[in-house]
Amino acid sequence: MYIFEESGSNLNSHICAIIIGVANFLATLTANIFIDKVGRKVLLLISDTVMFFSLLVLGSYFLIRELNASLVEHFNWVPLGSFTLFVLAFSLGLGPVPWIILAEIFPLKIRATAGAVVTAFHWILTFGVVKAFPQVAKQFGLHTAAYLFAVVCFFGFYFILRRVPETRGRSLEQIERKLMKSKKQKQAALGCNA
């Protein structure tokens, strides 16, 4: 709600939060429809790209507002629009898809332990973001916080593109064989270079 209170919007911050919640719910339902049709990796890339650009727009709005508020006084809907788009994109891809991939890429014998470790790591990072965002926003401005998260999305796109396997339409055994083959190829390449 901090973002909406700082945006200068005419809408009550509680109404904005309700709009975000509805968008999150609808996008999560939509993700269930597209996850097997489009593919996990494609959804992740689309999600990350839209999140990146929505954060750039949000950061630019607050930067311009800080420099000269009169330039954006008629655009006080931009933070709600950008943040709603961010939540829609997150809920279509980066929200649900990693949990599906998590269940698919780990071998059965370590799936429970690996899932627990990844889930704990996820919640530690979530806690860090929730604690850091207001501090960064107050210390350096909302535009800096938005740009910082946009940079994270930028590098996330590269990581997804290069490292995340597409698992759509493959059995768990096929996914495990492919990952093991890839691992052996990398080990062989490192052994040859040593």
Cβ 118 vs Cβ 50: under 8 Å:
no
| Cβ-Cβ contacts under 8 Å for 44 (sequence gap 6 or more) | 93, 94, 97, 98, 160, 164
pLDDT in tens, 43-73: 999 999 999 999 999 999 999 988 887 888 8
Residue range 5-29: mean pLDDT, rounded: 75
Cβ 80 vs Cβ 3: under 8 Å:
no
| Structural domain span for residue 143 | 2-193
Rounded CA gap, 68 and 58, in Å?
A: 15
What pTM was computed for the model?
0.82
CATH number at residue 152: 1.20.1250.20
pLDDT in tens, 135-192: 988 899 999 999 999 999 999 999 999 988 887 767 666 666 777 766 666 666 676 5
Closest CA to 8 of 85, 52, 66, 84: 66
Name the average pLDDT for the chain: 84
The count of domains in the chain is 1
